[in-house]
Amino acid sequence: MKSTADVVIVGGGCMGASVAYHLARRGITDVVVLEREKLLATGSTGKNAGGVRHQFSNEANIRLSLESIGVLERFADEVGYPIDFHQDGYLFLLSSSASVETFTKNVALQRSLGVTVDWLDAAAAARLAPGVDTDGVIGATFCQRDGIADPNGVTIGFAKAAQAAGATIERDAEVTAVRVDAGRVAAVETTRGTIATRTLVNAAGPWAQQIGRMAGVDVPVSPLRRHIFIAAFDASTGTATVPASHIMVIDFETTFYFHREGPGLLFGMGDPKEMPGFDMTVQWDFLPQVIDVAVTRLPALSTASISHAWAGLYEMSPDANPIIGPAATVDGFYLINGFSGHGFQHSPAAGRILADVIAGRDPRFDLAPFAIDRFNTKAVAGERYVV
């Protein structure tokens, strides 16, 4: 392993790979990405549902989506590697007047930024997503350019392009310490040796707080377990009534969501009783709670079997908005953390922005909503659409 580098990135998921790629495009190629696992994208990146959307409640997140989805649409031409990307849209189902009121304000914001979002009644929503029971739905929103992308393909595409430009990716290399000298990053110690560097990027996802502590920086990010289940349908019983497309359907009141995954169906739901922690064991006693909600919205699930399931970790910040930029107390220490369940879809833009900051360029983006010191002022307007 190299003993020196201009930039060291901790974390080989979508965020770390994106930063490395965008640094390389800016001529900064003496970069080492450290991944503690034997493969890239096996942490939170590899365990998410792959959704990408414009429909956020926070202007800064909408702007991240506009840039990121644009990159995904051009990924093969721009990055040089094909990805699996289906733009069949996101459909939010609303069942309360309070939700309709909230979405009315946010759709106006989304449209003001150039996002095409349609308002639908229950009947139109049902036609768009065959098999969905819209009983109790009083409104819905739909954005056609939202969709489902392949997290592994995006991450590996960024990583391979960065490597081709000269970046180094070290797998099976866990960070054990960060050396700080006179208030500046000096070196990173790993299980495979020490790398002297004056620039360190914390892209450690749910483990961001631990990496921050090594440098003496408080990174307010907590891990929160989320489950994903894959349903299979028995072909001998006939064709299940489910959407044929990859449309992402979200029941906003319950957070139940689903989309097609191959011949089956991927679905999940947030557990309001879940406490922060690193346990990624599948809690099978949670499944009945999900099914109780799921079969009311998608009756076909009542005849499905669960082929497999997994649990991953959201990296939650206090306001569900990311932290992007330099740490205030340690020079050369940069943060790209706390995306609260929407990191994969924002990794193209977030990686570009942080690369510009590190390179001393104008990121052409107001980073105030993502600055780490925003929590000290308590003037925080966070994200309300955490799925």
- Give me the pLDDT at residue 47, please: 85
285-320 per-position pLDDT tens digit: 999 999 999 999 999 999 999 999 999 999 999 999
What does the mean pLDDT of the chain come to? 95
- Whole-angstrom Cα distance, residue 174 to residue 190? 5
Residue 223 parent element (H or E): strand 222-232
214-226 per-position pLDDT tens digit: 999 999 999 999 9
pLDDT band, very low/low/confident/very high, at 17 (cuts 50, 70, 90): very high
Q: Give the three-class secondary structure for 74.
A: coil
- Give me the pLDDT at residue 176, please: 98
178-202 per-position pLDDT tens digit: 999 999 999 999 999 999 999 999 9
Whole-prediction pTM:
0.96
Whether pLDDT at 239 is above 80: no
Whether pLDDT at 48 is above 90: no
User: What domains appear along the chain, each with residue ranges and CATH number?
Assistant: 7-52+151-221+318-377 (3.50.50.60), 90-143+223-316 (3.30.9.10)
- Give me the pLDDT at residue 336, please: 98
101-135 per-position pLDDT tens digit: 999 999 999 999 999 999 999 999 999 999 999 99
- Give me the pLDDT at residue 97, please: 97
DSSP code per residue over 145-158: T-EEE-HHHHHHHH
Q: Which residues lie below 8 Å from residue 356, measured CB to CB, with a gap of 6+?
A: 22, 26, 362, 363, 364
Q: Which residues lie below 8 Å from residue 19, measured CB to CB, with a gap of 6+?
A: 9, 201, 203, 336, 351, 354, 355, 358
